[in-house]
Structure 1
Amino acid sequence: MAASESGTPGGEPLLEVEDIVVGYGRIEALHGISLQVAEGELVTLLGANGAGKTTTMRALSGLLPLTRGRIVFEGSDISRVQAHRRVLAGLVQAPEGRGVFPGMTVRENLEMGCYARPFRNKGDHDAALDRVFELFPRLREREKQVGGTLSGGEQQMVAIGRALMARPRLLLLDEPSMGLAPMVIQQIFRIIAEINATGTTVLLVEQNARQALARSDRGYILETGVVTKSGPGRELLDDPAVQAAYLGVG
């Protein structure tokens, strides 16, 4: 797709974040973040620990209020919309730390994803569940196993699958590779790319720059609450400053 002047592929962006400021009490964590995500894109938000990545995601999800700025989703200002209503609109997050319910089975965890947005009929529900099991065959094998006994990689699969059960227009993924073994990381990133390729727009927060940018249409670099650089994923991957900061090159 050809890029528009706004830096996103042609057409109006699905998500527009305009000069948002977010704080924890008197401590300001984001100092005027602006970014856009077009429908169908996979966009990465990259930064070191403490840069404000998770704060940005929590603000987008409605878990943190804005001090200033606005968030527009599908053309509507959702800056003051409650978190659960953002889910109903199709803005769904798989949170940092996975948040698996440890005493529930894998299937019960997945079905919590459609708690606020139930399916109209059993056929649609079963089709969505089958889709998750196609993406994550391991979860079908573990369907009756409780979440607290799963490996870290399996819990991450549950977190992503649970978010998919809410039928997101935009899927927010916060550090999906954190704490995982290299082989599992490769698998998770392949599945994220497949989710995106089959029509779900993705905004990905990651520290694994190489894996994330290699698969992203575009990326933003966040440093101490400010966007310092943006561009196509491959261009950022080849940028000497990005390589030095995140890839240990130079």
Structure 2
Amino acid sequence: MLLEVDDLCVNYGRIEAIRNISFTIDEGEIVTLIGANGAGKTTTMKTVSGLRPVRQGTIKFQGQDITAMPPHERPVLGIAQSPEGRGCFIGMTVQENLDMGAYARPDRKSPKIGQDRDRVFGLFPRLAERRTQVAGTMSGGEQQMLAMGRALMANPKLLLLDEPSMGLAPKLIQQIFDIITEINNQGTTVLLVEQNAAQALKRADRAYILETGEIVREGSGKELANDPAVKAAYLGGDV
């Protein structure tokens, strides 16, 4: 088991954002969390990466309890996040952004960094073309690619992707999801938070549905995509 979340509760002040959720991720999987706005998806992601404190419950990564581990230590273990809203360093170039993704790696001065950068450029040829361009002058789609590439530069065992298709044109959405599948095929486990439920379920090995901070349904991506209630609530009646 790569990630185990057990009985997790997270508050924003007195408001319960997540209540008693439990889920697991096995090595090599794509697991997706879907749900409406405010369901607790991003809060779950932030809590796994250490950006939200846990009121109750545990988070284990490769069997190690990381519930109280500071967020800056988690990339060293192998957890990296591409956040909602991308969060690129807008005054830095593409290559500088990518290099920031490797800041926590003990081997950051080794040739392996260059190899991983080449891997990112292979996945995102647009970034290779724009390696000297300042991130703030790039399109939203290009910045999304950069945020994902920066997270990959941490050489993660678990890649957290929060709303990677948000605000993108349909053609680019398809491309982003194809790249997510390729990242997984290359050996990186993925936890995906996504409002595009059709694409997310199509790519996911397993999925969890959140409503008002609780997991209300789980199953394989295919099972949930074919579930009439899920179709009606999240897929517009069809996949």
Q: Show CA shifts across 1:118-164 (max 9, x none).
A: 42544211100000000000000010110101101100000000000
What does residue 146 of structure 1 align with?
134
Within the alignment, does 1:84 sit opposite 2:72 as a pair?
A: yes
- Within the candidate set 131, 144, 157, 2:119 is matched to 131
What does residue 229 of structure 1 align with?
217
* Alpha-carbon distance in 2 for matches of 1:219, 1:97: 23
3-state SS of 1:39 partner: coil
* Alpha-carbon distance in 1 for matches of 2:223, 2:52: 32
* Alpha-carbon distance in 1 for matches of 2:152, 2:105: 11
3-state SS of 1:230 partner: strand
What residue ranges of structure 1 are gaps of 5+ in the alignment?
A: 1-12
What does residue 49 of structure 1 align with?
37
- Amino acid aligned to 1:47: G
What does residue 58 of structure 2 align with?
70
- Within the candidate set 190, 195, 199, 1:202 is matched to 190
3-state SS of 2:2 partner: strand
What does residue 179 of structure 2 align with?
191
Q: Show CA shifts across 1:195-239 (max 9, x none).
A: 001100000000101111111100000000000000000010000
Aligned-residue Cα RMSD (Å) equals: 0.9
* Alpha-carbon distance in 1 for matches of 2:20, 2:82: 24
* Alpha-carbon distance in 1 for matches of 2:91, 2:80: 23
Within the alignment, does 1:58 sit opposite 2:25 as a pair?
A: no
* Alpha-carbon distance in 2 for matches of 1:118, 1:140: 25
Q: Show CA shifts across 1:68-96 (max 9, x none).
A: 00001000100000101111100111100
Contact 2:31/2:206 (8 A) holds in 1 = yes
- Amino acid aligned to 1:182: P
* Alpha-carbon distance in 2 for matches of 1:120, 1:105: 18
What does residue 25 of structure 1 align with?
13
* Alpha-carbon distance in 2 for matches of 1:150, 1:240: 40
3-state SS of 1:21 partner: strand
Q: Compute the TM-score of the two structures, normalised by the length of structure 2.
A: 0.98
3-state SS of 1:87 partner: helix
Note closer, same or farther for the CA distance 1:51–1:120 as it changes in structure 2 (3 Å cut): closer
* Alpha-carbon distance in 2 for matches of 1:96, 1:118: 27
* Alpha-carbon distance in 1 for matches of 2:109, 2:67: 32
Contact 2:33/2:208 (8 A) holds in 1 = yes
What does residue 214 of structure 1 align with?
202
* Alpha-carbon distance in 2 for matches of 1:140, 1:29: 39
Within the alignment, does 1:165 sit opposite 2:156 as a pair?
A: no
3-state SS of 1:221 partner: strand
How many residues were matched structurally? Answer: 238
Within the alignment, does 1:95 sit opposite 2:95 as a pair?
A: no
Q: Compute the TM-score of the two structures, normalised by the length of structure 1.
A: 0.94
- Amino acid aligned to 1:20: L
- Within the candidate set 179, 182, 207, 2:170 is matched to 182
3-state SS of 1:195 partner: helix
Q: Show CA shifts across 1:24-77 (max 9, x none).
A: 111110011100000000000001000000000010000000000000100010
* Alpha-carbon distance in 2 for matches of 1:45, 1:123: 36
